[in-house]
Structure 1
Amino acid sequence: MGVEERWQDRVPRRVPAWRGRDDRNSRVQQRSRWMLIAGSALLLVAMMLARWLPHGPGSGAAKSAIPMAPAVVAAAPIGFGEKLTPDKLKLVDVPAQQRPKGHFARIDALILGQGRTALRPITANEIVIDAALVAGATRLSTAPLLGPTMRALAVQVNEVTGVSGLVFPGDRVDLFLVRQPDEAMPYADLLAQNIRVLAVGSDMNIARDKPGVVKTVTIEVNPLQAQKLPLAMATGEIRLALRPFGNEARVRLQSLQVSDLNDGTTTRMVRKPGNAPAAAPRPAAPHQRPAQSVIVMRAGAASAADVLP
């Protein structure tokens, strides 16, 4: 028995052929499985890179080549009439071509000197522009809004003459004079065109969003118009006509009277009862020539007889 064991130990054991093939197949399958997992991972990484990285050659360079420039924006909402302070402003970089006209590149330009006050509400992160501000930090005033040679004039209005309260600061209007003199028929004249409204009542907020009936409207006029309008208000009634946005064209009009109110149809004047003119006297009958007659004597008596023509 011991000899047989020693002989078995010396003779190498042979593995069956079918077990060798199974081991090789198992190693091939395991290698394929790992290659499939690695390929899936690489594909996932490639998809993520394609999603987050810029497409095309030079895309990153083109994106970074957009010129940027500083601009002052509102760090917090700024209400109408509020003074601009450093805590309400911040400086950010924006695309240089997207900066609006009248922007500011430094914060100290808005807070030094007289300072600036908001003429309308400014939302947070909105670029601050000069058109939304007025110089002079202590209070709002109409004077800084005027042109170098212009004047501010208040016109008395009501619900009708003031376009039902639908005129807002910043709008453009035409002015008409309606007059009824004692010696002539009523008429209407065009006084001024394309006049800018500075304030409605005491409100200069160009972002006003609620209409309201007021007693006065402050407008911007030249010195000659400032001389004419008070005289016009003393002799008649001023009416405002609201213009569309951006329409600054001038039109040519003539004085309009009551007889011009129709649309070109024939007008038949009817007089009031009791004001009819007196009847014209009838013409005198034409003078008739006297008939010719002769004296006829009959039995000593004389008589006249007409002579037929």
Structure 2
Amino acid sequence: MTIKCTNKVALIGTGFVGSSYAFALLNQGIAHELVLIDMNKDKADGDARDLSHGLAFASPMKIHAGDYSDCQDADLVVITAGANQKPGETRLDLVEKNIKIFKGIVDEVMASGFNGIFLVATNPVDILTYATWKFSGLPKERVIGSGTILDTARLRYLVGEHFDIDTRNIHAYIMGEHGDTEFPVWSHTTIGASHLSELIDMENEDIQNKLDEIFLNVRDAAYHIIERKGATYYGIAMGLARITRAIFNNENSILTVSSLLQGEYGQDDVYIGVPAIINREGVRKVVELPLNEKERQQFEHSSGTLKKVMENAFS
């Protein structure tokens, strides 16, 4: 008798990000089944074999290469395929070529009878998550982008490093586009139970300069890594694994992901990085933080930038 696996992930794209995500799933025991789909079938098969050889050291998981038909009974389809960001390119430079790629991918997935949740990581992630939602016809709750989950993790790491406090005790958010117009929400940054403003003088020029420096290192982190090693993949793979765990475990965790706004933060019809409650159904709810005036302006600017790109891309 064959027992149907649950918590099945279909991963589309076995490049640096995809294979790192698969490795994170295996190490953390998040999924019960993982199917690897790639235009390069040999690469997908090789990864499946390589990962399977580590099962003696991990939790049970069925790992195999497959094709789009395997998406039919998947709980989660994760897309990491697409053209990569090159040195000197912004994430928004990738729009045109990746939208064409995504149309083909999403059409194939939906033709399989898929009715689960999409998780998109390919850049520009906000635009491509919107495209996935449009192409798939699925409810907005079930189409999620990795958004600013990695930027938020980078911010927490650097703030923790500055104050010499465990990253996991830093609570802070990067919101907006996963890209050059993102911004830090200092008004909601806490260390343990203490608000940042209780620990430092936020009006002090030297301290403000240090906070600006921390944010710039967050915003430009990908550029620095791409210059040094050609691509970023470990951090985002861990972020995707975190979102996957929140979905499969029905956690109702608050994560900064790319979600469709329909009136929240005064914005409409745009996917953008915001804190959202994630559970087995996908996005349960967008969390609306009360932003200060500067942050509201930054959010409007970031949303406007994405909307201009979308108008050109979908016109």
More strand by share: 1
| Category of TM-score, reference length = shorter chain | under 0.3
More helix by share: 2
Larger Rg: 1
- TM-score (normalised: structure 2): 0.20
Q: Which structure has more RCO (C-alpha within 8 Å, separation ≥ 6)?
A: 2
